[in-house]
Structure 1
């Protein structure tokens, strides 16, 4: 189904659901509560999952150069980080990625051996002599805060308002949904790591959040007109 047609279906379904909404109450804070009847919830097909907490590993990408290390014929990689030392964990194994498309060198690991004059030096596992001195590479280095705990939710749970603020719907009890603002630290694939959000274990809507938002604000507009 084309994207335009999907939006038409969503709008038509939202309009038809207005009559099925059992109750809408607005909290005095920045959260909004919506209560659906069972029929409406089944039509939307709402799905939820609990907020989890996990160890986050974030990467910085630096340009590097393959070199011959001073202590012999061993191949290494030099990565200039002057002025950015605070961003990276220095004693770690990193991933080295060749830049040239025609390079025979595979992605490989390199072990930190030294830091000097604003540069990190890594010993490179140069199997089959694929890497050559002077070759340009990319080096994936873990950030200094690597290993911190973050609350994590599916990115599908996140909705954006017209000002770019990020929100989710929690599901504290059957058929009750509360819109809550969250602050995203970063997005990793289909997951969103949060700086601010609901407690671990809180059920959040993973499918149907956009529909709930449409229902909520349509009802708000109707109440405003009635007032």
Structure 2
């Protein structure tokens, strides 16, 4: 996934609408590439149609096998309107700014994924709790057992949607600038300013934290890397 121009691992898109047309050589359609991108990001944007108009909403998400999930308030009109309808979910990560010798050849290094599907609602109480447990454990391994038990009001107040990762495409750019051959001798700096995304800072305890409460390892050593089953 780190070649300069992004050679596709799988050449066949799962559907016509998921097939890359612009810079198609950067496309990735295999599950391994898609999973790697999904598991390295935290924030997704879900697009859907609400009352005849397009709407895009940011949300945290998580992956379990070949399924992706997101959640929110049961009062959310977006979640209610998404159930049983087609949605488009995207994630992206900016890895660097690419400075070329021509303004038109400047670019960015990135990893992105776009998923299409029909959202379904997780309805059984036990399934909702298990989905939330997995979400928390992927983010903060070992934390679920330290928390108080989730109560019935919280279960009822939470809606969880999911969809299979069956129609999806990833797109990746990595490496330096690609200039016109005659421009390589132009005396201007060219290269990449790399980004280190989601680098956690020093944890800040709550103002009402109980005295002498130890900071757990999943907080002290936090990093964005999910352990997905």
Kindly name which structure, 1 or 2, has the bigger radius of gyration based on alpha carbons: 1
TM-score, structure 2 normalization: 0.28
Higher strand share: 1
